[in-house]
Amino acid sequence: MSNLTEATVLEALSKIIDPDLRKDIVTLGFVRDIAISGGDVAFRIVLTTPACPVKELMEQQAIDLVSAIEGVSNVNVTMDAEVPQGRGIKNNVAIPGVKNIIAVSSGKGGVGKSTVAVNLAVALAANGAKVGIMDADVYGPNVPLMLGTGYDQPEVFKGQLKPIEAHGIKMISMAVLVPPDKPMILRGPMLHGVVRQFLTDVNWGELDYLVVDMPPGTGDVQLSLAQLVPVQGAILVTTPQEVSLSDVRRAVKMFEQVNVPVLGVIENMSYFIAPDTGNKYEIFGKGGGQKLCDEYGLNFLGEVPLGMEVREGGDKGTPVVVSAPDSPQAAAFRKVAEEAARQVSIEAMKPELVILTRA
């Protein structure tokens, strides 16, 4: 008599442990739609991110384990992904359809934060996620330029702005709402209103990730975002040198104070490889990002090297992950995107936060 039942399939698959969540995929609810017909077994494994780095390994483990069950002649595994809803902070108003909000921030300007935010968003979309980017850097909104969308105003549909789409992602920016040569002269309450409008008066639709390109520093926009919506986590961008790291330390403390988890640190402009000689030059120093992570117990999401391809892609409106997909910079951004998605999933699957306040 064959031992082939749904229960035996689940028992076999329970030996597969998710390395990040440290539980088996059956307990986590990843195994779906088991179908048995004679000796044929089919099922889905639904992971928490399309960019899961161990997807192929899990697929092979599942095939091997189920094939070993008596009576199985064929195994068909469909690998799928559903990005979990971020838990955030309960008293903040969520944006309908948006699962996770990721703030990309830096302690100071000039570290390539917007470049990182744009390439991160496009890389996540290329992996199959639904992604939007909100340009909250109201004093220096450069995202439309980097995405090549120009400064045409977005359409209004049923009282809401319709995001502009480019390279597989949705985008809104102050730069498409005002003339490009008009200076942004806004005080704190006005900034709060702009952030609120970008979050609530834009029809974002269904998104797995909304990447928010923050202004540099620790000012009003960061506080407004943390107060208005459940931010799943912040990603901090730095360069290797100490002057950049000292400012990022302030950003770490600021996000701690507003109960926004820091998902990790990206070290931009880590080194330069000369195209004529292949020599590696660490222009801004070495190892600063990893040192900062070790100091505060943060995740190091990766390092991105300097390269003309990044600048050229940004100027032409085609991010380097699209314009030069085989470049070291594009490969670094894809790796960073995978690590960021991984940390978002880990954060989303943690038990609900209970925030205590004094009476």
Query: Tens digit of pLDDT for each residue in 92-137?
Result: 567 888 999 998 988 777 788 899 999 999 999 998 899 999 888 7
Band (pLDDT 50/70/90 cuts) for residue 43 is: very high
Three-state DSSP at 141 gives coil
Residue 1 is predicted with a pLDDT of 47
Q: Which residues on neighbouring strands pair with residue 173, listed in sequence order?
A: 135
Q: At the topology level of CATH, where does 101-348 sit?
A: Rossmann fold (3.40.50)
Average pLDDT over residues 183-191: 50
Runs of H (alpha helix) within 44-168: 55-67, 113-126, 143-147
pLDDT, averaged across the chain: 84
Backbone φ and ψ for 55, nearest 5 degrees, come out as -60, -50
pLDDT tens string 144-164 = 999 998 877 788 888 888 999
- In terms of C-beta density within 10 A (0-12 exposed, 13-18 middle, 19 or more buried), how is residue 177 classed? middle
Element (H, E) at 264: strand 262-273
CATH of 6-81, one of 3.30.300.130, 3.40.640.10, 3.30.200.20, 3.10.180.10: 3.30.300.130
In sequence order, which ranges of the chain are alpha helices (DSSP H)?
A: 6-13, 55-67, 113-126, 143-147, 188-200, 220-228, 242-257, 288-296, 308-316, 320-323, 328-348
Place of tokens 């008293």: 91
What mean pLDDT comes out for the span 314-330? 92
pLDDT greater than 60 at residue 184: no
pLDDT tier at 188, thresholds 50, 70, 90: very low
Say which residue, 330 or 224, is predicted with more confidence. Answer: 330
Q: pLDDT tens across 342-358, in order?
A: 999 888 877 654 433 33
Select the more confidently predicted residue: 92 or 278.
Answer: 278
328-348 vs 113-126: helix crossing angle, rounded to 10: 80
pLDDT > 70: percent of the chain: 85
- Given a contact cutoff of 8 angstroms between Cβ atoms, the answer to whether 348 and 84 are in contact is yes
Q: With cut-offs at 50, 70 and 90, classify the pLDDT of residue 24.
A: very high
Question: Given this model, what pLDDT does residue 111 score?
Answer: 86
Question: Which SS3 state, helix, strand or coil, does residue 287 take?
Answer: coil
- Pick the closest to residue 133 from 93, 82, 167, 94 (CA basis): 167
Q: What is the pLDDT of residue 191?
A: 59
* Domain boundary assignment for the chain: 6-81, 101-348
Structure tokens at 117: 């935010």
Q: Comparing 6-81 with 101-348, is the CATH topology the same?
A: no
Distance CA 314, CA 80 (A): 32
Q: Once rounded to an integer, what is the mean pLDDT over residues 32-57?
A: 89
Q: What radius of gyration do the chain's Cα atoms show?
A: 22
d(CA 44, CA 33): 6
Q: Supply angle C-alpha 243, 244, 247, rounded to 5.
A: 95
**Where residue 46 falls among pLDDT bands split at 50, 70, 90?**
very high
